[in-house]
Amino acid sequence: MKAQTQCNFVILFLVLSKSLLHVGRGCFAGNRKPIALVDPSGCGRYSLIRAASGVGGSDVTSGWYEGLAHSAPVHLCEHFLVGTQQLTGMPWWLTIVAATFSARTVITLPIAAYQQVIVSKLQVLQAEISDLSKRLSYEISVRAKQTGWTEKQCRFQFRKNLKRIVSELYIRENCHPFKTSVLVWVQLPLWISLSLALRNLSMDQSGEMVHSDLATGGSLWFPDLTIPDSTWILPVCLGIINLVIVEVSRSQVTRFRRMVLYFIRGFSVLMIPIAATVPSSMALYWFASSIIGFGHNLFLHSKIVHRFLRLQTSRSDTPYRDLLSAFVSKYQK
């Protein structure tokens, strides 16, 4: 279940990244119409932000991108980013990092904690399911002798009753396996919306204060957030942190999971050239999102969180040392 969810997420992520690569090369150029972004009374620094409109009516792909890039969630994220910058007065690079931290901490971290509770309940249920499965197998064999069931009928009765028993257990513990995928269905739209919001804000538009401030709102080797990182430092850092996340989170290796692992590794490397073609603001957001997510994952491994969530599964007294030892041992064999 976990591997399947992981695979679905990666496939969706790959499709999206190809879309963003196309976006980064300017597929939204064209006429633009203004939309109010902040209070029109003039109290805010940014009174207007420009949005793309009507390009390539015959180009179905561009039309699909246009509709997504100017959907309500994306515009809401634009308001969120600009509002955060206005409220704090921070430079844009720090605004992006702070907004990313806020969104992931307020929205995705609680869901990740809830997912951990569900996973813990499912792991505990495995022992009970195993015992009930053995009892059911015995009862089926006894009933088969009484009624003369064939082997095929026995297998059918076993599968039908085991499915019913497992379903009742999920209801009893309120831990249906589908709930373990809730984080993906929240995090993915959030990631898409913030990425496209930054893409919209980074578009060149004469007289647009947001764009001009982004052009000077970078830091260190990426002073201009509206153009790609020519040094490739941000893209390479993004690839490295994604690979670290993959390696640290590896679990029991099966043939299917090994294939998924290779796919995710390849995708992490593929993200490097993709991140090098989009505005630095987007690459910075992707890197910040990955490293903050990694930090949250480490936090959820702590003993304090384990006690607070009242997880029923056993936990090590030295979780971080165990993670490091497991990570190092993989490359010492």
Chain segment 216-243, per-residue pLDDT in tens: 887 888 888 888 888 999 999 998 888 8
For 10, how many CA atoms within 13 A lie in the half-sphere containing its CB? 22
**What pLDDT band is residue 168 in, cutting at 50, 70 and 90?**
very high
The per-residue pLDDT for 300 is 87
299 pLDDT exceeds 50?
yes
Q: What is the pLDDT of residues 185-196, one digit of tens each?
A: 998 899 999 999
Q: What is the pLDDT of residue 45?
A: 46
Residue 40 near residue 14, CB atoms below 8 Å: no
Contact call for residues 189 and 141 (beta carbons, < 8 A)? no
State the burial class of residue 104 (Cβ atoms within 10 Å of its Cβ: 0-12, 13-18, 19+).
Answer: buried
End-to-end CA distance of the chain: 29
Q: Which long-range contacts (CB under 8 A, 24 or more apart) does 265-270 make?
A: 267/10, 267/13, 267/14, 268/239, 268/242, 268/243, 269/239, 269/243, 270/14, 270/17
Whole-number pLDDT of residue 249: 67
pLDDT in tens, 21-54: 444 444 334 333 433 344 444 444 444 444 433 4
Higher pLDDT, 254 or 121: 121
Burial class of residue 265 in the structure, from the number of CB atoms within 10 Å of its CB (0-12 exposed, 13-18 middle, 19+ buried): middle
């197998």: which residue's tokens? 137
Render 92-154 in DSSP notation, one character per residue. Answer: HHHHHHHHHHHHIIIIIHHHHHHHHHHHHHHHHHHHHHHHHHHHHHHHHHHHHHHHT--HHHH
pLDDT digits (tens, 9 = 90+) for 106-119: 999 999 999 989 98
Higher-confidence residue of 4 and 178: namely: 178
Angle (nearest 5°) at CA 331 between 329 and 333: 75
pLDDT, tens digit, for every residue of 57-75? 445 556 777 777 778 888 8
